């Protein structure tokens, strides 16, 4: 599919905002949805809506087949070895909290270490902070290099025989850094630690193979990859998940319930207490179909060309600072002179351009960058060079608008 054809699949992109054609550059926050995903959700509610794993009636079977069919699509998408290793959760945040609460509480104690990095999203910091506080474990950070990358010698020096869990983002939502997850996993395993990967900014944009990475846990959210909100995935290796306790108890996740004791269903259902996010999971399956039809390699290529072009054009704007390494995923975080990033985003919005401004749920990273906030333009498969050109014009307008201040 050429970009024009891809764009036509996204009805929302055809509108005007503030009298200008919409330029959507906030896909790292959430992606837009193609018509196939929107129609899959509508079709499900119009035709098949029912609860799963219970009734013998036809609608119940259709809903269950759709829900479990999506699990198989996810398994294939990340190359998990079995659907038992694919747990549907609310999103990346819930996936990480599940591992911290279940695996963490059972396996971490005083004197143990949890290793993360200062570039993590809050959802990959706070669950570990809480776990460290509860258990008396130590939270350690792999330091960042000046360009916002991680060096493997620092990883070697930070992970020790006391480390029990290492949790690192694959791709930074602020710097665009692509972390060497396979190497970090190897170092974690050499020290008998388990490796958790926050894949929220990776799974939508590049081919992920959890067996190749050899990570123990991998988390991602459907809404950042053309799917609906409210659904995401926790991948975990079967031998670890088998030994872990559920974190939510109730319907759907039980085998036998007595007055004083109960037993759980087998994997993956023991982690899916309550009526699951059925339509969401089916919508995620449709999103995977869509992404695979275009091809993850192709998507990576589109984004790479866009980010290279954006970096080149943005570097010609005087007073514009770009944060993060040269080699990066499809996003550019920046500040313009001394204009507050919220003001930059507000002026850009008047031009129909949607960018994110703020701390991007990465306050420790903002401190490391020595800024309070930044603006961020993030690309996805439906963006074009015209979007980058609109951003450049918008930034010039912003400079003119605030020109009198300086
Ligand atoms: N991890 C990373 C790397 C993220 O970028 C995000 C969301 C999350 C975790 C949390 O995902 P959720 O689906 O559970 O909320 N990042 C962003 C962002 O950059 N702007 O808005 C949300």
Q: Which atom of ligand 1 is nearest to the CA of 92?
A: 14
Answer yes or no: is pLDDT of 406 > 50.
no
Domain ranges across the chain = 3-26+295-401, 50-293
CATH of domain 3-26+295-401: 3.90.1150.10
* ω into 246 cis (within 30 of 0): no
Q: Name the class of domain 50-293.
A: alpha beta
3-state secondary structure of 291: helix
Q: Which atom of ligand 1 is nearest to the CA of 362?
A: 19
Tokens of 193: 């630690």
Q: Which atom of ligand 1 is nearest to the CA of 232?
A: 13
3-state secondary structure of 165: strand
Dist CA 177 CA 32 (whole Å): 23
| Model pLDDT for residues 44-64, shown as the tens digit of each residue | 999 999 999 977 899 999 999
3-26+295-401 against 50-293: fold identical = no
Q: Which residues are catalytic?
A: 361
As a whole number, mean pLDDT of residues 214-229 equals 98
Asked if 282 and 70 count as a contact pair (C-beta separation under 8 A), the reply is yes
| Model pLDDT for residues 81-128, shown as the tens digit of each residue | 999 999 999 999 999 999 999 999 999 999 999 999 999 999 999 999
Closest CA to 275 of 339, 216, 231, 215: 231
Dist CA 251 CA 273 (whole Å): 6
Looking only at the bridges linking them, the beta strands covering 138-141 and 113-116 are: parallel
Say how many Å lie between the CA of residue 103 and the centre of ligand 1: 22
Say how many Å lie between the CA of residue 61 and the centre of ligand 1: 34
> Ligand 1: does its nearest atom lie under 6 Å from the Cβ of 179?
no
Dist CA 227 CA 223 (whole Å): 5
pTM, two decimal places:
0.98
> Ligand 1: does its nearest atom lie under 6 Å from the Cβ of 121?
yes
Q: What is the mean pLDDT of the chain?
A: 97
- The fraction of the chain above a pLDDT of 70, given in percent, is 99
Answer yes or no: is pLDDT of 279 > 70.
yes
Answer yes or no: is pLDDT of 1 > 90.
no
Dist CA 298 CA 305 (whole Å): 11
């Amino acid at each position: 599919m050429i970009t024009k054809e891809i764009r036509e699949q996204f009805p929302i992109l055809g509108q005007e905002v503030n009298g200008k054609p919409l330029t959507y550059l906030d896909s790292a926050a959430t992606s837009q949805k193609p018509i196939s995903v929107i129609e899959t959700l509508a079709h499900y509610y119009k035709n098949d809506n029912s609860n799963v794993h219970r009734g013998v009636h036809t609608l119940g079977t259709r809903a269950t087949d759709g829900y479990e069919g999506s699990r198989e699509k996810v398994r294939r998408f990340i190359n998990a070895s079995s659907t038992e290793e694919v747990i549907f959760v609310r999103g990346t945040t819930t996936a990480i909290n599940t591992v911290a609460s279940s695996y963490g509480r059972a396996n971490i104690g005083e004197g143990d270490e949890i290793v993360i990095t200062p570039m993590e999203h809050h959802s990959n910091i706070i669950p570990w902070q809480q776990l460290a506080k509860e258990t008396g474990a130590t939270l350690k950070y792999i330091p960042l290099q000046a360009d916002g990358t991680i060096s493997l010698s620092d990883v070697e020096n930070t992970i020790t025989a006391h480390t029990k869990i290492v949790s690192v983002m694959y791709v930074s939502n602020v710097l665009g850094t692509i972390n060497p997850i396979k190497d970090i996993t190897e170092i974690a395993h050499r020290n008998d630690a388990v490796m958790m990967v926050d894949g929220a900014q990776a799974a939508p944009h590049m081919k992920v193979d959890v067996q190749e990475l050899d990570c123990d846990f991998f988390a991602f959210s459907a809404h950042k990859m053309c799917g609906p909100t409210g659904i995401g995935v926790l991948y975990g290796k079967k031998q670890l998940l088998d030994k872990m306790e559920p974190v939510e108890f109730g319907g759907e996740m039980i085998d036998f319930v007595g007055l004083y004791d109960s037993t759980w269903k087998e994997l993956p259902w023991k982690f899916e207490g309550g009526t699951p996010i059925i339509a969401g999971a089916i919508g995620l399956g449709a999103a995977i179909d869509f992404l695979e039809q275009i091809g993850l390699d192709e998507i990576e290529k589109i984004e790479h060309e866009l980010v290279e072009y954006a970096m080149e054009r943005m570097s010609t704007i005087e007073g514009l600072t770009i944060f993060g390494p040269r080699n990066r995923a499809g996003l550019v975080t920046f500040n313009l002179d001394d204009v507050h990033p919220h003001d930059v985003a507000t002026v850009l919005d008047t031009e129909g351009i949607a960018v994110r401004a703020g701390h991007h749920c990465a306050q420790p990273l903002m401190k490391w960058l020595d800024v309070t906030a930044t603006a961020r333009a993030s690309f996805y498969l439906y963006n074009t060079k015209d979007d980058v050109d609109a951003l450049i014009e918008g930034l010039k307008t912003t400079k003119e608008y605030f020109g009198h201040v300086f």
